Structure 1
Amino acid sequence: MNQMIRTPQKTKANTPLPRSKAKPDELVPSRYAVRVGDIDVLVVSDGVLPLPTKMLAHNAAPADRAAWLDDMFLPQDAFDWALNVVVVRSGGKTILIDAGLGFDPDLHLPRAGQLAKRLAAAGIDLGSVTDVVLTHMHMDHVGGLLVEGVKEQLHPDLRIHVAAAEVKFWESPDFSHTAMPQGFPDALRATAKRFMDEYRSQFQLFDETHEVAPGVVAYRTGGHTPGHSVVRLASGGEALTFAGDAVFAVGFDQPDWHNGFEHDPEEAARVRIRLLRELAETGEMLVATHLPFPSVGRVAVDGDAFRWVPVFWDY
């Protein structure tokens, strides 16, 4: 997955660089490669998801939320949440961690659901994926496998690893503690049901921890959903945790603010604080679904809160 970057040839002063006649599909390639010891990691953007800013902190005072948004140079009403997935290669396996949003015409989200196209642009054949790990079964994590024509491209022996508590929850989901925009609960419920109907025979259920490949371990955290899990990659003294929806951008400054998609917001806050403390102590890298792409960084303690420390690009 790591690709060689060629150094451009020097040109004479005032000589314009030649333009390619082929127009690229996208100006910015939406992938970022990292190595964790012997494990290859590729963060891939599934696009962006425009959501109301209230979703960031429905338990916070409006003035406090507005102040945070202002400090971050973000609009007050709505902004684009990143949608990141990860491809991992370890022990001869190619593992997709989460599968993006897919396509739901009723939600009018044309800039999301880009995963299949961007995997192809990265040279990753869907048929080469041996395993999928789901952090949870919200539609922006499973919908990419429901896009028309995708299942036919997948390996027939594909294994889908998901916490047993997550599957049980979606058999009769409870939205009483969430604060979502209208239409989202119905869409989440319908997508999870469809996903289980399509792929249940390929589920590999686990309770608390599960090693998917050498150095690739899923851990159930709960909180965001009952079966929400994170995936830790460890090799050669290095480590990276894909946190799914345990951490949002606001969670460093305000880890106790409740996200509207959290099914148990108080437990989600406890999970978030515990995870951030662990990452600050170990110094390992963090990637999360909704942190700004490419989302690779580390965590530092900052008084009673935390600080996001992006990695320096070294290619």
Structure 2
Amino acid sequence: MSPLEARSLTNTTLEPAPPGRSAPEELVPSRYAVRVGDIEVLVVSDGVLPLPTTMLGHNADAADRAAWLDGMFLPTDAFDWSLNVVVVRSGAQTILIDAGLGLDPDLNLPRAGQLIRRLTAAGIDLGSVTDVVLTHMHMDHIGGLLVDGVKEQLRPDLRIHVAAAEIKFWEAPDFSHAVMPQGFPDALRATAKRFANEYRNHLRPFKDECEVAPGVVAERTGGHTPGHCVVRVASGGDRLMFAGDALFAVAFDHPDWYNGFEHDPEEAARVRVRLMKELAETGSSLVATHLPFPSVGHVAIDGDRFRWVPVFWDY
């Protein structure tokens, strides 16, 4: 085990599994722990999702997009989006924030959908999860709960917190402003419908804000989807925001670039600028679904530009 992985496993009472339970192909750490006052936070990687680079900014000039990718030492044809999920323990509650992609054989995404096995490797029993918060109902945030055998392991009194506007949106979703690869709209629609049907009795809709546990608050932002929310964690003067899909790696340099999965791209741009200004002013830590794992960092402002400041790994 590398020093980095040792740090990521021992900084929390969310105990790791005994040696040997992690798959041998795991050559890099897939979980990273931080503390927010008295609250434990564990970032878990669900893998990566390769997508065309146009998804980073479909309203941007192709040359500008290629220049940004070249400056980041990234390929210009396809980009691996990290898929990060968060487990929070506050008092007696264990809260899963988003649930990863799951396993959709029709999409052929073998490097994603790792969450359930990585929770097991981290020693986290699905039956211990008291609450789930969904930042939104795109399939890479709900699919893990649809994996065969998962629902049977969950508590019968599990509470799933999601904005009411999100549930309403997926009854008849509008993709007219999104720009997605072929097959994705149908997969998103089908997955959301299946999820709503299977977990209807567990849903706890909220309008604008919901206190899930002491120091853990979900707040609807809209933009990416009508019911998209962020989750704020606060304890003992420390603060962390899980921003879901409000922020992507390119957003710090180009907040006006539209992401292909945004259902209201203009509002999504306003939301991410507002959130980045807030994060810069407060100094709160940031974690987001698609920032490079473990995605823990801060936002700074240089003149009229934002800057992503990753934390130094602590181990």
Q: Structure 1 length as normaliser, TM-score?
A: 0.93
Write the deviation string for residues 14-41 of structure 1: whole angstroms up to 9, x where unpaired.
xxxxxx9x98341223000000000000
Aligned to 1:173: 173
Aligned to 2:191: 191
Asked whether 1:30 is paired with 2:30, we answer yes
Aligned to 1:202: 202
Write the deviation string for residues 91-137 of structure 1: whole angstroms up to 9, x where unpaired.
21000000000011110000000000000010100010000000000
Q: Name the % identity.
A: 80
Aligned residues: 300
Task: Using the TM superposition, give the Cα deviation of residue 302 of structure 1 relative to its aligned residue in structure 2, in angstroms.
Answer: 2.1
Aligned to 2:125: 125
Aligned to 2:4: none
Asked whether 1:143 is paired with 2:143, we answer yes
Aligned to 1:242: 242
Cα distance in structure 2, aligned partners of 1:147 and 1:90: 26
Task: Using the TM superposition, give the Cα deviation of residue 166 of structure 1 relative to its aligned residue in structure 2, in angstroms.
Answer: 0.2
Asked whether 1:268 is paired with 2:293, we answer no
Q: How does 1:1-315 map to 2 (within 5 A)?
A: 3-4=9-10, 24-315=24-315
CA 1:173–1:4: 2 relative to 1, 3 Å: closer
2:48 partner SS: strand
CA 1:98–1:238: 2 relative to 1, 3 Å: same
CA 1:93–1:23: 2 relative to 1, 3 Å: closer
- 8 Å contact 1:255–1:305 — kept in the other structure? no
Consecutive unaligned residues of structure 2, counting only runs of 5 or more, are 1-6, 12-19
CA 1:163–1:108: 2 relative to 1, 3 Å: same
- 8 Å contact 2:9–2:32 — kept in the other structure? no
- 8 Å contact 2:8–2:31 — kept in the other structure? no
Task: Using the TM superposition, give the Cα deviation of residue 3 of structure 1 relative to its aligned residue in structure 2, in angstroms.
Answer: 4.2
2:223 partner SS: coil
Write the deviation string for residues 37-88 of structure 1: whole angstroms up to 9, x where unpaired.
0000000000000000000000001111010000000101102100000000
Task: Using the TM superposition, give the Cα deviation of residue 217 of structure 1 relative to its aligned residue in structure 2, in angstroms.
Answer: 0.2
Cα distance in structure 1, aligned partners of 2:37 and 2:282: 16
Cα distance in structure 2, aligned partners of 1:123 and 1:171: 36
2:186 partner SS: helix
Corresponding letter in the other structure for 1:82: S
Task: Using the TM superposition, give the Cα deviation of residue 2 of structure 1 relative to its aligned residue in structure 2, in angstroms.
Answer: 6.9
Aligned to 1:15: none
Cα distance in structure 2, aligned partners of 1:296 and 1:244: 13
Cα distance in structure 2, aligned partners of 1:136 and 1:28: 28
Cα distance in structure 2, aligned partners of 1:268 and 1:23: 38
Q: Structure 2 length as normaliser, TM-score?
A: 0.93
1:232 partner SS: strand
1:178 partner SS: coil
- 8 Å contact 2:9–2:31 — kept in the other structure? no
Larger radius of gyration: 1
- 8 Å contact 1:55–1:261 — kept in the other structure? yes
Task: Using the TM superposition, give the Cα deviation of residue 296 of structure 1 relative to its aligned residue in structure 2, in angstroms.
Answer: 0.1
Task: Using the TM superposition, give the Cα deviation of residue 305 of structure 1 relative to its aligned residue in structure 2, in angstroms.
Answer: 2.1
Write the deviation string for residues 151-183 of structure 1: whole angstroms up to 9, x where unpaired.
001111100000000000000000000000000
Write the deviation string for residues 207-248 of structure 1: whole angstroms up to 9, x where unpaired.
001100000000000000000000000000000000000000
